[in-house]
Structure 1
Amino acid sequence: MSHSAADAVAVAAPAKPQTKPARPEFSSGPCAKRPGWNAADVAAKAYLGRSHRAAQPKAQLKAAIDRTANFLRVPEGYKVGIVPASDTGAFEMAMWSMLGAKPVDMLVWESFGQGWATDATKQLKLDDCRVLTAGYGEVPDFGDVRDEADVCFTWNGTTSGARVPNTDWIKPGREGLVLCDATSATFAQALDWEKLDVVTFSWQKAMGGEAAHGILILSPRAVERLETYTPPRPLPKIFRLTKGGKLIEGVFKGETINTPSMLCVADCIDALDWMDGLGGLDATIARATANADALQKWVDATDWVENLVADPAARSNTSVCLKIVDPDITAMDEAAQRDFTKKMVKLLEAEDAAYDVGGYRDAPPGLRIWCGTTVDTADIEALTPWLDWAFATAKAAL
């Protein structure tokens, strides 16, 4: 064999897998629609061209609220409302309306938590505000959180793949409020509601719903804070939850602050219908866990990749983040590693094998695979040979 022929053999791309995922949508937001989703079915449920304040649309908004609370097992006495601007709007609303009454501890281990910490320190400019941080793939020392302080954290780090392993660190009877961004955890992970005062999420994550609307859930203690504390800052209209020192109850009965998309509301109802049909919260959690387990089984058997989160107890079962550990790749500088993963992502997309699986821009170079409730385990199992193929093909091209 000639030298040139030998070189050709050395860089030949591997054979492509025979089976593709039936649904290659593995984006971590907006996430895959439910299996069998059909736009016409959703539109048929929507009050299009109607005022959201008319009786039937308003009743549908209230139904979305009540069914969400029931499905997630939100405790009696908590308030659930639909608010503007997705999870971001819901969490910002809570921060701007409530923080400042007590010291604040911001917990940061990925980009969204960092965003909340930036708001607290640079926008709200809170006097007694600590930022407790950990690197991507890790979680901070929860034992450092002050009981007298309000605490803000993301239950599941969407961009790091690390979630809180437990809530033992949230002591019963603590003085401060607990504000939790749970946008990639709800419907896929069991939240410890009795220890949470504010919970926010958006429809476009674990429900596979449409974007732009947020859910805000308040405990009685959070309502008390709203009614007894006047923040020393102006609040825009979409952040105002009280009037005359009292909670605006209508927000939690389907009277939204601004105009909602009734098509998105119908899509939420459609997702709830599907999840109810599965058997409820235990079933939706089990689906996400089965998906993450299938992906981790492949990771454990594959030498070029590892879960970004070393501690199994802190690993997400929705936004699973992976790092490449092949020595030839880790020897590259960070920019070259990012270029390599981008090549993998493009190869997968070009083959319609996986869409939008690149790691978050601020995270370490790697991949991020959404394993939430709306994904089928069979598609995760069909994906993994394609991940091997994309890695080998990209490496052969170096």
Structure 2
Amino acid sequence: MKLVVQVRLLPTSVQTAALQATLLACNEAANWVSRVAFEKDVKTNFPLRGHTYRQIKAQWGLGAQAAQHVIKKTCDAYATLKANLRAGNLGRPGSRRYRQVVEKPVAFRPQGAQPYDDRMLSWQIDRRRISIWTTAGRMKDLAFTVPPEQMATLALYRKGESDLLWRDGMWFLNATCEVPETPLDTGPVDFLGIDLGIVNIATTSDGETMAGRELNRIRTRERALRTKLQKKNTPSARRRLKKRRRKEARRAKDINHKIAKHVVTEAERTGRGIALEDLTGIRERVRLRKPQRVTHSSWAFAQLGQFIAYKARKAGVPVVYVDPADTSRTCAECGHIDKANRVSQARFACQSCGFVDHADRNSSRIIRARAWKLWRRGAQSTAPDPPTEPGCGTGRKCSTTASGARCARSGLSVPDR
């Protein structure tokens, strides 16, 4: 399976200038290639190379490999756009949003990420140094740092492309690693049901609850602060907004990683599989009052589900997705289904047998039972590929699919934790 180790670069001032010039040149070339592809309606790699390859090298001074990666990056962006249009992620054909996308070429940000292969980038992992191609020539002895637990993954399993990217004044390389999966030697003895929610981020069928109270408080505080600073709109307020951006998302991501790691470790320790609800499309299916919409839209259930799935796949723990219909209304003791069973957000009381339990814990038991039933019928583990890392810098927003966020350039997974 593919994972990404995010390596932070520590360039000197001279090296920083060379890296900046390289990204600017590559993305200027990519924007030109995108316009050619749009005007000539040539959006596949080999034909587009015939129209653009020589001029990229002559006008922007890119090497042969860099020029080919610029063309490939552009083709990947158009392929992703086509898939999004076909899936309806950008509105219906003829709608304003649809037309805004199809009537102009794909654009890349000036600091968009640039892919590197082993001809353009070499690693001295023991010295924590890299040698990397730039428009100013080959840059050697560029220092990097990476957490110790990820250094081993980088040293043993690094394979394929790496993406050079700049974010918030820092330089990174997202290095692709081919990590072997743990095989499923025997079937699970049971399943650990996981109910995902907003008030309680995750509740297991063992009765363990990971409350979302802290995260929800943080999100409410961050929203209020953002609103206040946006209204103020002074230079200092804008600086503070820029400094705090992505802070909430990073904190939520860290919490989801910790929960996912705990859940997978518990399932692996007890020889069980993991049962999750298939919540694809839930935002489109539900109707909410206005005060609830922001909270529901901030619910990172897909991210947590993806983290659990790829960590389980790495550990050799089977994952089964079940139909979420009526899991909150079904009694885990007698199987009676009734809307009145769900007395409140937290309380479940069966109208038939009188069974009383916490609503999320009851739902997780139903999820466990459904997964075990599917497994005994012959269902296989349905853990998807590791989720891709959004924000790779291609200049296009990453799309959301059934398996999670899909990178506009494609092919990279979420950084391993």
User: What's the TM-score bracket when you normalise by the shorter of the two chains?
Assistant: under 0.3
With normalisation by structure 1, the TM-score equals 0.23
* The structure with more radius of gyration: 2
Higher strand share: 2
Structure with more contact order per residue of length (Cα contacts < 8 Å, sep ≥ 6): 1
TM-score (norm 2): 0.23
